[in-house]
């Protein structure tokens, strides 16, 4: 689980940063913010790409942990079926989520490792433009992978069931 903790913490940090930036962006210059009360955001205010990136990474982390437990000869059913229980997913829906979440999470993780390597190179590079362009492209690739996964889920599940699960995913991630 130690490998998953940084992924989840990274995702949570990204969510908090995005939400904080969005809150700051949306504040009116005319009205001073009330600093005595923290601003709360509804699930509909969180960017879909961010919520699903976190959800897909969390889903993949649970599946990897279940694989580890099974490799150790332990019962992994409770871990493997965590999201199924949360959202009352059918077998077909669970397979549809897995078919999108697992490759998407793998792409995001590979891009995270590449970004970390590029960030180190950036510190030592005289010409930062090419590396910065690569970092921007990796961020776009993450967004495209998540958007494709969400689009496939919407197509496979149908609009009504997708909207129901979408609400649950937003609620559980936030």
- 10-residue stretch averages of pLDDT, the chain, 174 residues long: 48 47 42 59 75 93 94 93 86 93 96 95 89 95 96 94 87 74
pLDDT at 19: 46
CA 105 → CA 14, 31, 50, 86, 145, distances in Å?
Answer: 15, 40, 12, 20, 9
pLDDT at 40: 63
Separation of alpha carbons 103 and 99, rounded Å = 7
CA 85 → CA 78, 89, 94, 98, distances in Å?
Answer: 9, 7, 10, 14
pLDDT at 38: 65
pLDDT at 45: 75
* Of residues 47, 51, 42, 43, the one with CA closest to residue 21: 47
């Amino acid at each position: 689980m130690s490998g998953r903790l940084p992924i989840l913490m990274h995702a949570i940090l990204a969510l908090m940063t995005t939400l904080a930036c969005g809150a700051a962006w949306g504040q009116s210059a005319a009205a001073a913010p009330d600093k005595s009360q923290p601003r709360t955001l509804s699930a509909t205010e969180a960017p879909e790409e961010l919520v699903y990136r976190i959800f897909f990474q969390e889903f993949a982390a649970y599946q990897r942990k279940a694989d580890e437990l099974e490799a150790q000869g332990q019962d992994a059913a409770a871990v493997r079926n965590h999201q199924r229980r949360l959202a009352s997913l059918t077998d077909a829906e669970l397979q549809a989520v897995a078919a999108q979440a697992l490759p998407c999470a793998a792409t995001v993780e590979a891009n995270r490792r590449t970004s970390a390597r590029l960030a180190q190179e950036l510190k030592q590079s005289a010409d930062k433009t090419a590396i910065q362009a690569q970092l921007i492209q990796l961020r776009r690739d993450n967004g495209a992978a998540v958007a494709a996964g969400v689009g496939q889920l919407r197509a496979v599940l149908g609009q009504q069931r997708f909207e129901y699960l979408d609400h649950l995913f937003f609620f559980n991630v936030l």
